[in-house]
A and B are shown apart, each in its own frame.
Chain A
Amino acid sequence: MIVHRSDWEQAAARLQAGEASLVALWGEPGSAHMALLDQNEIHTLSIACDGGRYPSVGRLHPPAIRLERAMRDLHGLEPDGLPDTRQWLHHDEPYRFLPAEGESLHQIPVGPVHAGIIEPGHFRFTANGETVVRLEERLGYVHKGTEQLMAGAPLERAARLAGRVSGDSTVAYALAFAHAVEAASGVEPPPRAVWLRALMAELERLANHCGDIGAVCNDAAFVVLHAQFGWLREQVLRTAARCFGHRLMMDCVVPGGVRADLAAEGQHALRVLAALVRSRFPELVEVYDNTESLKDRTVGTGILTPALAAQFAAGGYVGRASGRAFDARRTPGYAPYGELEFDVPVVQAGDVNARVWIRVREVGQSVALIEQLLAALPTGSIYAEARPSAGEGLALVEGFRGDIFAWVRMRSDGHVERCHLRDPSWFQWPLLEAAIEGNIVADFPLCNKSFNCSYSGHDL
Chain B
Amino acid sequence: MRTLLLKRLVQGPLTEPAPAPDAAALAELGAQVDRAARRRLGRSLSIREVDAGSCNGCELEIHALNNIVYDLERFGLRFVASPRHADVLLVTGPVTRNMREALERTYAATPDPKWVVAVGDCARDGGIFAPSPACVGGVSRVVPVDLHIAGCPPTPLALLSGLLALLEDASKNR
Interface residues of A (CB under 8 A from B): 90-91, 112-113, 115-120, 140-146, 148-149, 157, 160-161, 164-168, 170, 211, 224, 227-228, 230-231, 233-234, 237-238, 247-248, 250, 283-284, 286-287, 290-291, 454-456
From A140, which residue of chain B is reached at the shortest CB distance?
A: B98
Q: A140 — which chain B residues lie within 8 A by C-beta? A: 98
Q: Within the assembled complex, what's the spacing in Å between the Cα atoms of A248 and B64?
A: 12
Is there contact, CB below 8 Å, between B59 and A149?
Answer: no
Q: Within the assembled complex, what's the spacing in Å between the Cα atoms of A250 and B155?
A: 13
Given contact pairs A120-B51, A161-B128, A231-B67, a sample of 8 additional A-B residue pairs in the complex whose CB atoms are under 8 Å apart: A90-B98, A145-B133, A146-B129, A168-B60, A224-B10, A227-B67, A233-B67, A291-B2
**Which of B28-36, B38-46, B89-97, B160-168 interfaces with chain A?**
B89-97
Q: Within the assembled complex, what's the spacing in Å between the Cα atoms of A117 and B159?
A: 15
Most buried by A among B49, B97, B153: B97
B20 touches which of A91, A170, A238 (Cβ 8 Å) = A238
- B24 in contact (CB, < 8 A): no
B81 touches which of A116, A165, A230, A234 (Cβ 8 Å) = A116
Q: Contacts A115-B81, A166-B56; is A141 near B134 (CB within 8 Å)?
A: no
Q: Within the assembled complex, what's the spacing in Å between the Cα atoms of A115 and B52?
A: 14
Q: Contacts A113-B106, A119-B51, A250-B152; is A283 near B9 (CB within 8 Å)?
A: yes
User: B94 → chain A, closest Cβ, in Å?
Assistant: 6
A-B contact pairs, 11 of them (CB 8 A): A113-B83, A120-B51, A141-B96, A142-B98, A144-B134, A148-B132, A149-B128, A230-B68, A231-B69, A248-B57, A456-B54
CB-CB contacts below 8 Å: B3-49 with A = 5-6, 9-10, 13, 20, 49
Q: Within the assembled complex, what's the spacing in Å between the Cα atoms of A117 and B60?
A: 9
Is there contact, CB below 8 Å, between A143 and B9?
Answer: no
Q: Contacts A119-B54, A142-B93; is A149 near B132 (CB within 8 Å)?
A: yes
Q: Within the assembled complex, what's the spacing in Å between the Cα atoms of A91 and B155?
A: 33
Is there contact, CB below 8 Å, between A237 and B9?
Answer: no
B67 touches which of A113, A148, A230, A247 (Cβ 8 Å) = A230
Q: A117 — which chain B residues lie within 8 A by C-beta? A: 49, 51, 59, 62-63, 66, 79
Is there contact, CB below 8 Å, between B132 and A142?
Answer: no
- B123 in contact (CB, < 8 A): no
Q: B153 — which chain A residues lie within 8 A by C-beta? A: 167, 248
User: A130 → chain B, closest Cβ, in Å?
Assistant: 21
Most buried by A among B20, B58, B99: B99
Q: Count residues of B near A (Cβ-Cβ below 8 Å).
A: 49
Q: Within the assembled complex, what's the spacing in Å between the Cα atoms of A387 and B2?
A: 60
Q: Within the assembled complex, what's the spacing in Å between the Cα atoms of A238 and B20?
A: 8
Q: B102 — which chain A residues lie within 8 A by C-beta? A: 112-113, 120, 141
User: B26 → chain A, closest Cβ, in Å?
Assistant: 12
User: B14 → chain A, closest Cβ, in Å?
Assistant: 9
Q: Within the assembled complex, what's the spacing in Å between the Cα atoms of A145 and B98?
A: 11
Q: Within the assembled complex, what's the spacing in Å between the Cα atoms of A248 and B96?
A: 23
Q: Contacts A160-B128, A237-B64, A283-B9; is A118 near B106 (CB within 8 Å)?
A: no
From A230, which residue of chain B is reached at the shortest CB distance?
A: B67
Is there contact, CB below 8 Å, between A167 and B54?
Answer: yes
Is there contact, CB below 8 Å, between B94 and A234?
Answer: no
Would you list the 5 A-B pairs with minimal beta carbon distance, nearest first?
A167-B57, A145-B134, A145-B132, A115-B81, A230-B67
Q: B58 — which chain A residues lie within 8 A by C-beta? A: 167
CB-CB contacts below 8 Å: B115-174 with A = 128-129, 131-135, 152-153, 155
Q: A112 — which chain B residues lie within 8 A by C-beta? A: 99, 102
Q: Within the assembled complex, what's the spacing in Å between the Cα atoms of A80 and B129?
A: 33
Is there contact, CB below 8 Å, between B98 and A247?
Answer: no
Question: Interface 1/0s, chain B 74-95, versus A by CB < 8 A?
Answer: 0000010111000000000110
